[in-house]
Amino acid sequence: MQKLVVSQKGDGDFTTIQAAIDAVRVFPLEPVTITVKEGIYEEIITVPENKPNISIIGAGKNKTIISGSKYARMKNENGIEIGTFETAVFHAFADLFQLEHLTVQNVAGYGDEIGQALALYAAGDKCMFKNVRLLGNQDTLYTSKGRHYFSHCYIEGHVDFIFGSGVSVFEDCTIHSLRKGYITAASTSEENEFGFCFIKCKLTGAQEAADVYLGRPWRPFAHTVFINTWMDQHIHPHGWDNWRNEENEKTARYLEFGSTGPGSNSSERVTWAKSLTEEQAANYTLENIFHSKDTWLPK
């Protein structure tokens, strides 16, 4: 295994994270571990598609912080707004990527003059994120494709702050809403049985948060499920929103099982969302969710 160290104090191999990634050969012959020491790294980072099997490990969620400020309304050198997908602080495009023990934050803020501002753009397959904090407002986390496992992570945002068409499991994670909005905006493809799966998570809200929906479908056939998840009082009694399109109610796959907490009351949930039976909920294992074109078990 190749091991590299990043330190702003100069006692490592590199002083920036991107420099360490750039130094990895294309299609490395062995797994690469990049250890990032304590510090605030003001960088826009890309792990390209042709550099799989890289692990980036920080010194702790509150010690190693990757910070950037890009937003959709920002204009490029031609005076054109850069748009949602150019705003990410961290781009993880490679397969078999791991990110652990650090924070990625987009500090652009929120509002109409800001728009979307991503912290993490994940597009690789078989990617793992452990003990990571993702901080943003609108569109904090974009999982565009591939399979992703988030364990013991903290994800914070405002509107549609977990979105995309990836097959993503969030286990033992805290999902924190900053104000009124929507947690998820899945765009799961029709042929994918699974989309966003939240298992044993906690849904918390800031004091300003109220009437927060569990999700709204960015595309037809959106799939989002919450299993054995604790929900605070900021969750809207209806649970789910159709994104101003009743046709979405026919295709959206919105499911709950074993919800607890002040926001878990199912009596007022929308009629087009479903409660899983115990037998159906038992089908939501990592083996089943991540077994598609091949077998992958992140644990």
In angstroms, the CA 105 to CA 133 distance is: 8
Q: Which residues are catalytic?
A: 139, 160
Say if CB 186 and CB 217 are below 8 A apart: yes
Residue 287 has pLDDT above 90, yes or no: yes
What percent of the chain clears pLDDT 90, i.e. is strictly above it? 97
Token pair for 181 = 């909005």
Residue 266 has pLDDT above 90, yes or no: no
Q: How many Cβ atoms are within 10 Å of 242's Cβ, its own excluded?
A: 18
> Rounded mean pLDDT of 270-284?
96
Set out the domains of the chain in order of their start, with CATH numbers.
1-144 (2.160.20.10)
Residue 299 has pLDDT above 80, yes or no: no
* pLDDT tens track for 217-231: 999 999 999 999 999
> Closest by alpha carbon to 106, among 124, 80, 84, 123?
84
> Rounded mean pLDDT of 88-92?
98
The upper half-sphere exposure of residue 229, i.e. CA atoms within 13 Å in the direction of its Cβ, equals 29
* pLDDT tens track for 119-143: 999 999 999 999 999 999 999 999 9
Residue 257 has pLDDT above 90, yes or no: yes
Residue-level pLDDT at 26: 97
> CA 238 → CA 11, 74, 205, 211, 227, distances in Å?
54, 35, 17, 9, 17
User: Over the chain, what is the mean pLDDT?
Assistant: 96
Amino acid residing at 106: N
Residue-level pLDDT at 292: 79
**How is 145-180 classified by DSSP, letter by letter?**
SSEEEEES-EEEEEEEEEEES-EEEEES-EEEEEEE
